[in-house]
Amino acid sequence: MEKDEMTETSRIATFGAGCFWGVEAAYRQLPGVLSTRVGYLGGTMVNPTYRDVCSGRTGHAEVVEVTYDPARLSYDDLLTVFWENHDPTTLNRQGPDVGEQYRSAIFYHDDEQKAAAIASKDERERSGKYRRPIVTEITPASTFFEAEDYHQQYLEKRGLASCHIG
Residue spans of the domains in the chain: they are 8-157
The confidence score (pLDDT) of residue 6 equals 47
Spatial separation of the C-alpha atoms in residues 46 and 53, rounded to whole Å: 11
Instruction: Count the helices and strands in the chain (H runs, E runs).
Output: 5, 8
Q: SS3 letters for 85-106?
A: CCCCCCCCEECCEECHHHCEEE
Q: Chain centroid to CA 155: how far? A: 16
The confidence score (pLDDT) of residue 151 equals 65
Question: Beta strand pairing status for 93-94 and 61-68?
Answer: unpaired
- Assess contact for 20 and 156: CB atoms under 8 A: no
Domain 8-157 has CATH 3.30.1060.10: yes
Question: Looking at the annotation, which residues are catalytic?
Answer: 19
Backbone angles phi, psi at 89, to 5 degrees: -105, 0
Spatial separation of the C-alpha atoms in residues 100 and 54, rounded to whole Å: 9
Spatial separation of the C-alpha atoms in residues 113 and 117, rounded to whole Å: 6
The confidence score (pLDDT) of residue 11 equals 97
Name every residue whose Cβ is closer than 8 Å to that of residue 149 and which is 6 or more positions away in sequence: none
The confidence score (pLDDT) of residue 15 equals 98
The confidence score (pLDDT) of residue 44 equals 94
The confidence score (pLDDT) of residue 22 equals 84
In tens digits, what is the pLDDT along the chain, a chain of 166 residues?
444 444 578 999 999 998 887 889 899 999 999 999 999 999 999 999 999 999 999 999 999 999 999 999 999 999 999 999 999 999 999 888 898 999 999 999 999 999 999 999 999 999 999 999 999 999 999 999 998 776 677 566 666 555 654 4
